[in-house]
Structure 1
Amino acid sequence: MVHRSRNPRRTAFAVLGAIATLAVAGCSTSAGTPSGGGDDGGPRTVNVAVLPTSNMAAVYLGEAQGFFEDEGLQLNMTTVGGGAEMIAGMQAGSFDFIVVGYVPLFAAASNGLDLQIISANDVGGATPDEEWQALVVGADSDARSAEDLEGATVGVNALKGVAEATIRASLQQQGVDDTSVQFVEIPFSEVPAALSNGTVDAAFGSEPFITGTLADGGRIVDTPSYNLGANFPNGAWATSSRLVADDPDLVDRFERAVTASVDYAAENDDAVRKILPEFTALTPELAEQIRLPIFRSGLDRDQLDTLSRILVDFGVIDRAPDLDQMISG
């Protein structure tokens, strides 16, 4: 059972909450025109949906490095609020390519939408210390490990999502009764305040909020993704099966460019930290401190099968997607 004092500490939390609010408020929400151009020998414009999060660094770096230009492509990037919005926009023809978590992808596929995964984008850490998404508690909590979370109230960014499923699987793996845990929805940006004021005992946090929590005396009590496997899948690049059928050359060119972008980000941490303030509201100082996403372009089929099974077991999706159909090439 988790116990905590009622003496909230708010030093880094208010700053980080403001950063998240600014990151979202400063984003464009209007989709561009359908992809086109290139007929006169100029670059082909493709519409791409992204998120206001640090794991988008790869595509911004790829654009800056000229990987897309080398393939005759010009990116029209639109920042949206989440995976469901991305998938709906792609189905409506507003987006050609999206970078999205596997849960909305698998959920859409299990509901009959034809989607193709063309490249991985980011994964969990190879060690617990590299995890950039983790289960955290505040400074006043006495919880030290997953075993202390039995009967706890835990905040997740979305109910019946990947965070809840992986946390429950991790708790089971460690002999904790996951059915004793109550999950409540807490957006990432509200995690620090929720921990500080006692709304939740623990919460699933992402950077920069992990760094802020640790700086304010909190701690990581579990790394659910890592417990399911080192470098566990997190996000991927996808498109519609329709575009693959209608314009395979465009898909091939984009796949080459985005793979080069992700591989470049994986090998250049300094470049990632430098570009983060350009598309998020992170300050250069905070960009230097946070745990970076782990960029990886290769798809691990065994781990995707494990994730699919977990999502079915915990009722996130009704049935497993056909990964043979979903994985392009």
Structure 2
Amino acid sequence: MLKHTLALALFACASLAHGADQPLRVGWVFAMANAPALIADKKGFYAAEGLKVDLRQFGDGPLLQQAVAAGELDLAYVGAPPVYQWASRGLEAKIIAKVNYGQAALLADAASAVTSVAGLRGKRLASLPKGSGMDVLLRGFVLREHARLDPDRDLGIVAMAPANMPAALERHAVDAAFTFEPFVSQALLRGKTRLLLDVNQALPNHPWYVIAALPATLAERPDEVVKLLRAHARAVAFLKTHPAEANRLIAAAFKLEPVQAANGAAIPAEAIVQEARKRLGWSARLETADLEFIQRLMDYSSALGFMGKPMNVADLVDTTFQRRAEQAVGQGGHQGGK
């Protein structure tokens, strides 16, 4: 607890030193699902709102959490599980908007005899580290709820970097892999793996990444937060209405390389993004169903022992800024593509 109290104190001091005349410091986990953050930047939607944004990229949630705890960020594009896990340990943040839905899938080698998730009993499964958001989704929903498998007894889960999973499948070091985009689409387009489960089909339109804001940011810079949410909504609309251009921007930002298919043909990088759209989409508005799913994730995490204390989603969500942003658009604010 002392560690978290110190982190909060550091944040408070940093917040006081960071005046409203400074850019809004926005961190984002470098995942395709968080594309609205880069689209808003690349297409000038932040600037169109008169908003100065310092957009900072992070390789994963734990690194972003360190920046939040140190008071180096004002808002974050991050998975819902990290936000409630932070809060359960004393590092408060509010979820103020939705970013995407879907992105996760379970893959098997194309020649594997395994045809369902339940067929993984006694097998080895590659996934992200234990306690991560993806791990919560895997253990809580995919294995326990969907397949009726005990993740600790019925199969072996091997922590592995997503980039290493396709090779592990091809070498038969594991029997399946649970990963996210663009790794899912890259593997499928190579033609050496097949889909065992698209989580977005099993849980249609379930939220994953969200925008989280620190309490001090909401209290001290509310108008800028509203402007950021307007820019975010424009980016989501652009992703839907200008898919070809958006796919090019995403492919370039994530430095995606063409994929070589099983027949030797080169599949362009933009096609990876287009393939990912089959399992991944974007939405800015938090709906009641989204909050219910986040509560479901929280319950999974609590049952798995990943939280410091039980929590209610109502204590973590603030939709007032979302409503203000929508009202501003309705009164003639910016919307749509550029």
TM-score category of the 2 structures, normalised to the smaller one: 0.7 to 0.9
**What residue in structure 1 maps to residue 81 of structure 2?**
103
Q: 1:88 Cα shift?
A: 2.1
**What residue ranges of structure 1 are gaps of 5+ in the alignment?**
1-33, 39-43, 125-131
CA contact (8 A) 1:162 1:316 kept: no
Q: 1:150 Cα shift?
A: 0.8
**Aligned counterpart in structure 2 of residue 172 of structure 1, from 134, 140, 144:** 144
CA contact (8 A) 1:266 1:296 kept: no
Q: How does 1:44-193 map to 2 (within 5 A)?
A: 45-124=23-102, 132-168=103-139, 169-178=141-150, 179-193=153-167
Q: 1:180 Cα shift?
A: 0.4
**Deviates most, 180-189 or 212-221:** 212-221
**Aligned counterpart in structure 2 of residue 283 of structure 1, from 257, 262, 276:** 257
**TM-score, normalised on structure 2?**
0.76
**Deviates most, 298-307 or 162-171:** 162-171
Q: 1:118 Cα shift?
A: 1.6
- Distance change (3 Å), C-alpha of 1:147 and 1:262: same
- Distance change (3 Å), C-alpha of 1:93 and 1:160: closer
**What residue in structure 2 maps to residue 10 of structure 1?**
none
Q: 1:236 Cα shift?
A: 0.6
**What residue in structure 1 maps to residue 194 of structure 2?**
219
Cα distance in 1 for partners of 2:233, 2:65 equals: 21
**What residue in structure 2 maps to residue 309 of structure 1?**
299
CA contact (8 A) 2:118 2:149 kept: no
**Deviates most, 296-305 or 49-58:** 49-58
Q: 1:36 Cα shift?
A: 5.5
Residues 93-140 of structure 1: per-residue CA shift (max 9 Å, x gap) = 21122100111111101112110112111111xxxxxxx420101234
CA contact (8 A) 1:138 1:213 kept: no
**What residue in structure 1 maps to residue 283 of structure 2?**
296
- Distance change (3 Å), C-alpha of 1:294 and 1:320: farther
Q: How does 1:32-51 map to 2 (within 5 A)?
A: 38=21, 45-51=23-29
Cα distance in 2 for partners of 1:200, 1:256 equals: 44
| Amino acid paired to 2:121 | E
Cα distance in 1 for partners of 2:200, 2:135 equals: 11
Q: 1:35 Cα shift?
A: 5.7
Q: 1:37 Cα shift?
A: 7.2
Cα distance in 2 for partners of 1:86, 1:191 equals: 24
Cα distance in 2 for partners of 1:287, 1:35 equals: 39
**What residue ranges of structure 2 are gaps of 5+ in the alignment?**
1-16, 259-267, 321-338
Cα distance in 2 for partners of 1:266, 1:117 equals: 23
Residues 60-119 of structure 1: per-residue CA shift (max 9 Å, x gap) = 222233321122112222221211221221232211221001111111011121101121
**What residue in structure 2 maps to residue 209 of structure 1?**
183
**TM-score, normalised on structure 1?**
0.78
| Amino acid paired to 2:252 | E
Q: 1:311 Cα shift?
A: 1.9
CA contact (8 A) 2:124 2:156 kept: yes
CA contact (8 A) 1:159 1:184 kept: no
SS at match of 1:160: coil
Q: 1:225 Cα shift?
A: 5.1
SS at match of 1:312: helix
Q: How does 1:212-291 map to 2 (within 5 A)?
A: 212-214=186-188, 215-224=190-199, 226-227=201-202, 229-283=203-257, 285-289=268-272, 290-291=275-276
Cα distance in 1 for partners of 2:252, 2:25 equals: 20
CA contact (8 A) 1:195 1:201 kept: yes
Q: 1:319 Cα shift?
A: 3.1
Q: 1:175 Cα shift?
A: 4.7
Residues 117-176 of structure 1: per-residue CA shift (max 9 Å, x gap) = 12111111xxxxxxx420101234211111211111111112122333322323333453
- 1:327 is the counterpart of 2:310: no
CA contact (8 A) 2:93 2:215 kept: yes
**What residue in structure 2 maps to residue 19 of structure 1?**
none
The number of residues matched between the two structures is: 283
CA contact (8 A) 1:62 1:264 kept: no
CA contact (8 A) 1:35 1:47 kept: no
Residues 7-37 of structure 1: per-residue CA shift (max 9 Å, x gap) = xxxxxxxxxxxxxxxxxxxxxxxxxxx8667
SS at match of 2:107: strand
- Distance change (3 Å), C-alpha of 1:173 and 1:94: closer
CA contact (8 A) 1:67 1:257 kept: yes
